[in-house]
Amino acid sequence: MTEPLLSIRDLTVEFGTEDGVVKAVTGVSYDVFPGETVGVVGESGSGKSVSVMSLLGLIPSPPGRVVAGQATFQGRDLLSMKKRELRDLRGGDVAMVFQDPMTSLNPVLTIGNQIVEAIRVHNPDVKEAEATKRVVDLLALVGVPNPDTRIDQYPHEFSGGMRQRAMIAMSIANQPKLLIADEPTTALDVTIQAQIIEVLKAAQRETHAATILITHDLGLVAELCDRVVVMYGGRVVEAGDVYTIFANPRHPYTVGLMDSLPKLIGEEEMLRPITGQPPSLISLPPGCAFHPRCFLSGGRMRCRTDVPPLRPIGDTEHLSACHFAEELQERHPERAATGGHGVIAP
Amino acid sequence: MTELRKGEEQRSSETVEAGGTAEHLDQRGHAHHLAPHEEVDQVTTAVPSDPMAFVGGSGEGDLALVYESGVELKARSQWSYAARRFARHKLAMGGAIGMFFIALVAIFADRVAPYPYDTLDFNALRVPPTTEGQHYFGTDLLGRDFFSRVVYGLRTSLWVALLITGLTTMIGVAIGATAGYFGGLIDNLLMRFTDLILTLPTLAVLLVASIYLGQGDPFRVALILAALFWTGIARIVRGTFLSLREKEFVEAAKASGAGDARIIIRHMLPNAVGPIIVSATLIVAAAILVEAALSFLGFGIQPPTPALGVLIDEGRNEGLKFWWMVTFPGLVIVFIALCINFIGDGLRDALDPTQRRVRD
């Protein structure tokens, strides 16, 4: 087996607030292998962004701090890295695409200027003219028309989709090994989303970068990802390859996520949301954080007292953190269509 | 790097193909509509006064609209919007023209002034304003041409004011940016220091400092004033930086590996230029006034170097009978301060990013 590019082990991140300690991420472990795309899925506040940002020193600190765990990138320990080393890594070997292209570009610098800047931060000897030429090529690569004139435009002269293309161009400017896309399509409308997905794919093909796709859009995951990590309440609740997760989810939360999607086949029906509210990260429910909303738990004691460990299902690489994962059946397409919960009646 | 280059050309065509039909349509549509110039011009008139509204739209469709309506694609920066807004501000334009005139007089003082500022003429002592012998503002008690003295005094005062403004802005921006960007303890220390400076009784400190640091030399006067004047601009810059540092583009810059200094100077400072320019402008006016006051009290620039405050002080000694000696330098001070304040107001309106509409 190849060495993982990024390896996270038992990462725990907390934010000290006036209301108490927010446990944003608790004991999160996953690997990202070279060239693959990992989707990190979860609802708002599930810790999906924080688990990645904290590695790169991008969470505000204080109040945020990594209290436990290890993380290695290409064998180098990220958490003990000096500021300077981390800075070289950011935008170099590890690049980010942010959620909102409307606000993540500097309004007073031209698009070209900003990308040139990103290149020259990491390659100070690259001449301005040379960098500019590369930026034109990059913009063409991500499908910005007339790149040689648009390079001199300001962000407000770009539409949302074009800005996100420019952001992607900026992120791959230094040939990253790992691309972190933090909800790259959330702020865009649906037709543009489809285009941006293509651009992301193109960027991946071009740089052969491994990608962490942070999203709550399961469609995006199905489209782009090789493996999926599902997070809930700051913990990984399920992980596996994308086919397994979609065909055979083994955590009630994942099942709930799938069920809450609008269906394109079968009878028309109401959407089936997951009942209840996401947990407060200050006072997580004891035991399994999902148990108050869980259809599978049925009030069983074990769900309320024991934190379920992330364990393999059978001897596959499919991991689930549910005490009763085995009670969830194989998810047949027709069952999904009729909206069955996939539960064996107890 | 090289790897990236190689694949680019084929890649770009491929991406366009893969990426979105909407754009294809745009481009085709664009090619279709590529009309002769007259037609394009006609369409342009239909464009609303605020083209940002157009381009700021969300869909790719808006982009096509921009193409078709023939709005030039060349970047029109925020500066050109600001310049247009400023030009619409009548008082500010008046102020700017006034200051331009004043600056010309100051720069070409030796050509404008009919006499050197220190030539004595004992045949013409205390002559009231007259066109005879070109004593437009009269002469002083030593027969020096007062118009020439005002012109040279203007030069000194303006030069000192600009020096003060430059120094003040540098100190204020450095302290404000550092405090606002880093926040926390650094912010606290710097801002409490700012508060401390603000509590000092300005005039008393100025008087004492001018005694110890030596009087008369315009550069030293500027230094003393700057040391007390930076607080306002520091606070403004700090406030701006506090809000800027939460912006996503700052996080994006951080994520692309930029260091603190680079983020402050390259990414944040350009966004704070508006408020900085506005307060710097107003400092020019304040500096002229305070320098005049200081010189008037005899602690600023010393005679025989003419400065506006010095001239008023000289006139005061002569009494009301020789009204021109107080009036003219006083009027010049008022005129400058007024012009600059108008400019400042205009700039504030023009550079305020929340105000996009052109004033009518």
pLDDT at residue B39, rounded to an integer: 38
Test A121 with B15 for CB contact under 8 angstroms.
Answer: no
Q: Residue A199 — very low, low, confident or very high, per pLDDT cuts 50/70/90?
A: confident
Q: Which of B256, B276, B352, B354 to mutate to test the interface with A (most CBs of A within 10 A)?
A: B256
pLDDT surpassing 90 at residue A3: no
How far is residue A206's CA from residue A35's CA, in Å, rounded to a whole number?
11
Domain presence at residue B213? yes
Encode pLDDT of B228-254 as tens digits.
889 999 999 999 999 998 888 888 888
B103 with B236, same domain?
Answer: yes
Encode pLDDT of B143-201 as tens digits.
788 888 888 888 888 888 999 999 999 999 999 999 999 988 999 999 999 999 999 88
How far is residue A69's CA from residue A86's CA, in Å, rounded to a whole number?
17
B330-336 average pLDDT score? 91
| Token pair for B99 | 């200051």
pLDDT at residue A68, rounded to an integer: 85
Q: Residue B5 — very low, low, confident or very high, per pLDDT cuts 50/70/90?
A: very low
Q: Is residue A236 a contact partner of residue A30, using CB atoms and an 8 Å limit?
A: yes
Our CA angle for A317, A323, A325, nearest 5°, is 50
Task: Determine phi and psi for B200, rounding to 5 degrees.
Answer: -65, 140
Alpha carbon B222 to its chain centroid, in Å, reads: 18
pLDDT at residue B6, rounded to an integer: 44
B116 with B258, same domain?
Answer: yes
Domain presence at residue B73? no
Q: Is residue A96 a contact partner of residue A182, using CB atoms and an 8 Å limit?
A: yes
pLDDT at residue A330, rounded to an integer: 58
B120 with B43, same domain?
Answer: no
* Highest mean predicted confidence (pLDDT) among A248-252, B16-20, B25-29: A248-252
B231 with B277, same domain?
Answer: yes
Smallest Cβ distance to A109: which of B60, B247, B270? B270
Evaluate if pTM is beyond 0.90. Answer: no
Query: Touching check for B319 and chain A: CB below 8 Å?
Result: no
| Token pair for B325 | 């000696």
* Highest mean predicted confidence (pLDDT) among A249-258, B127-136, B231-240: B231-240
Whose CA is closest to A237, among A302, A274, A289, A186? A289
pLDDT at residue B215, rounded to an integer: 62
CATH number of A6-229: 3.40.50.2300, 3.40.50.300, 3.40.50.720, 1.20.1300.10?
A: 3.40.50.300
How far is residue B146's CA from residue B311's CA, in Å, rounded to a whole number?
9
Domain presence at residue B19? yes
pLDDT at residue A331, rounded to an integer: 52
Element housing A212 (H / E): strand A210-215
Domain presence at residue B180? yes
B198 with B115, same domain?
Answer: yes
Domain presence at residue B358? no
Q: Residue A334 — very low, low, confident or very high, per pLDDT cuts 50/70/90?
A: very low
Test A98 with B56 for CB contact under 8 angstroms.
Answer: no
Test A191 with B267 for CB contact under 8 angstroms.
Answer: no
* Highest mean predicted confidence (pLDDT) among A336-345, B44-53, B100-109: B100-109
Q: How many percent of chain A have pLDDT more than 90?
A: 2
The owner of tokens 């005879």 is B132
Query: Touching check for A198 and chain B: CB below 8 Å?
Result: yes
Question: Nearest chain B Cα to A160, which residue?
Answer: B58
How far is residue B320's CA from residue A22's CA, in Å, rounded to a whole number?
75
B204 with B300, same domain?
Answer: yes
Average pLDDT of chain A? 82
Q: How many CB atoms lie within 10 A of CB A16?
A: 12
A21 - beta bridge partners? A16
pLDDT at residue B356, rounded to an integer: 47
Smallest Cβ distance to B15: which of A87, A106, A143? A143
Smallest Cβ distance to B55: which of A100, A106, A156? A156
Residues of B with CB below 8 A from A206's CB? Answer: 4, 7, 11
Average pLDDT of chain B? 75
A228-249 average pLDDT score? 87
Higher model confidence: residue B294 or residue B132?
B294
B174 with B49, same domain?
Answer: no
Q: How many CB atoms lie within 10 A of CB A323?
A: 20
B281-310 average pLDDT score? 83
How far is residue B288's CA from residue B225's CA, in Å, rounded to a whole number?
11
Domain presence at residue B357? no
Q: How many domains does chain B have?
A: 2
Whose CA is closest to B140, among B305, B18, B312? B312
| Token pair for A88 | 């070289």
Smallest Cβ distance to B257: which of A91, A138, A150? A91
B102 with B64, same domain?
Answer: no
Smallest Cβ distance to B257: which of A87, A146, A189? A87
Q: How many percent of chain B have pLDDT more than 90?
A: 19
pLDDT at residue B25, rounded to an integer: 41
B209 with B334, same domain?
Answer: yes
A92-116 average pLDDT score? 86
Residue where one domain finishes, among candidates B68, B103, B123: B68
Domain with B253, as residue range(s), is 84-351
Q: Give the burial class of A345: count Cβ atoms within 10 A of its Cβ; 0-12 exposed, 13-18 middle, 19 or more buried.
A: exposed
Q: Where in chain A is the domain with CATH 3.40.50.300?
A: 6-229
Encode pLDDT of A288-327 as tens digits.
888 888 887 777 788 888 888 888 887 778 888 888 877 7
Q: Which of A247-251, B97-101, B130-134, B199-203 has the lowest mean pLDDT?
A: B130-134
How far is residue B293's CA from residue B296's CA, in Å, rounded to a whole number?
5
B59 with B202, same domain?
Answer: no
Shortest CA gap A214–chain B (Å): 16
Q: Is residue B287 a contact partner of residue A121, using CB atoms and an 8 Å limit?
A: no
Higher model confidence: residue B348 or residue A335?
B348
B105 with B34, same domain?
Answer: no
Query: Touching check for B23 and chain A: CB below 8 Å?
Result: yes
Q: What is the CATH number of the domain that holds B155?
A: 1.10.3720.10
Domain presence at residue B356? no
DSSP per-residue string spanning A151-192: TTS-GGGS-HHHHHHHHHHHHTTT--SEEEEESTTTTS-HHH
Query: Strand A319-320 vs strand A235-241: parallel, antiparallel, or unpaired?
Result: antiparallel
A311 - beta bridge partners? A320
Q: Residue B322 — very low, low, confident or very high, per pLDDT cuts 50/70/90?
A: confident
B162 with B265, same domain?
Answer: yes
A334: which residues sit within 8 A by CB, 6+ positions away?
none
Domain presence at residue B46? yes
How far from B13 is each of A195, A215, B19, CA to CA, in Å? Answer: 14, 28, 10
pLDDT surpassing 90 at residue B290: no
- Torsion on CA atoms A296, A297, A303, A308, rounded to nearest 10: 0
| Token pair for B167 | 């120094």
Helix, strand, coil content of chain B in percent (nearest 5)? 75, 0, 25
In three-state secondary structure terms, B190 is helix
Whose CA is closest to B283, among B190, B146, B171? B171
A309: which residues sit within 8 A by CB, 6+ positions away?
A321
How far is residue A265's CA from residue A337's CA, in Å, rounded to a whole number?
6
pLDDT at residue B130, rounded to an integer: 76
How far is residue B169's CA from residue B152's CA, in Å, rounded to a whole number?
26
B208-231 average pLDDT score? 80
Higher model confidence: residue B36 or residue B330?
B330
Q: How many CB atoms lie within 10 A of CB B175?
A: 22
Q: Which of A85, A132, A153, A159 to mutate to test the interface with B (most CBs of B within 10 A)?
A: A159
